[in-house]
């Protein structure tokens, strides 16, 4: 594919690599239970060029990030997705709860005052 533009080359690479294999890991089976790991994968890229002819300059870049999302557990013919939770999930819940409490107190004082 020598005549492809930079954007076409990047799109081709994403098409080849951004597939279900990137999201679902290899299943693991033990004692009648199958576990399929699941990840959240994010892709991004950008490209640009400037000028024309022999002085044309261009560039591009991209990145990928994969985070564990959970796993699918298959047992006795039933499948269930179990979400992976980490400490940041609980920190966000605590922060939102605290903010709600503070706002409630402030509104309550304002209504009485």
Q: What is the pLDDT along the chain (113 residues), one digit of tens a residue?
A: 456 777 777 777 777 766 666 677 788 899 999 999 888 877 777 777 777 777 677 777 777 777 788 899 999 999 999 988 766 666 767 777 877 777 777 777 666 65
CB 57 within 8 A of CB 51: yes
pTM confidence score: 0.50
**Cα 43 from chain centroid (whole Å):** 8
Domain spans, the chain: 6-85
Which of 104, 78, 79, 62 has its CA nearest to residue 24?
Answer: 79
Q: Which two tokens stand for residue 15?
A: 């098409």
């Amino acid at each position: 594919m020598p005549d492809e533009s930079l954007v076409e080359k990047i799109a081709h690479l994403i098409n080849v690599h951004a597939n279900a294999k990137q999201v679902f890991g290899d299943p693991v089976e033990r004692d009648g239970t199958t576990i399929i790991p699941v990840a959240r994968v994010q892709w991004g890229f950008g490209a640009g060029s400037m000028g024309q002819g022999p002085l044309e300059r261009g560039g591009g870049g991209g990145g990928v990030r994969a985070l564990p999302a959970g796993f699918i557990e298959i047992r006795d013919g039933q499948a269930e997705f179990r979400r992976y939770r980490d400490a940041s999930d609980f920190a966000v819940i605590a922060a939102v709860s605290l903010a709600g409490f503070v706002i409630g107190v402030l509104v309550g004082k304002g209504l009485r005052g």
